[in-house]
């Protein structure tokens, strides 16, 4: 599973819109949208922010482990 798919899955499991996730993490909604559409990749700091928010490892977010 690619990062964008994993992010969308986690976001939906937490019943969050892209805008809500953006507001809760301080990451722009447009960045989240681009990641979910596989148009861009997250920075290391964004990846860490999402990892802490979702309480998942960065490897999980990146789709390296299940």
Beta-carbon contacts of residue 63 (< 8 Å; ≥ 6 apart) = 1, 2, 3, 5, 6
| pLDDT at res. 66 | 87
Mean pLDDT by 10 residues, the chain (66 residues): 94 98 98 97 97 97 93
Query: How far is Cα 58 from Cα 47, in angstroms, rounded to an integer?
Result: 7
Walk me through the domains of the chain, giving residue ranges and CATH numbers: 3-61 (1.10.260.40)
| pLDDT at res. 23 | 98
| pLDDT at res. 1 | 74
């Amino acid at each position: 599973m690619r990062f964008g798919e994993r992010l969308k899955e986690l976001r939906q499991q937490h019943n969050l819109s892209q805008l809500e996730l953006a507001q809760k993490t301080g990451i722009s909604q447009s960045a989240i949208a681009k990641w979910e559409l596989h148009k861009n990749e997250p920075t290391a700091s964004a990846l860490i922010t999402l990892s802490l928010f979702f309480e998942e490892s960065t490897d999980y977010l990146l789709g390296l482990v299940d």
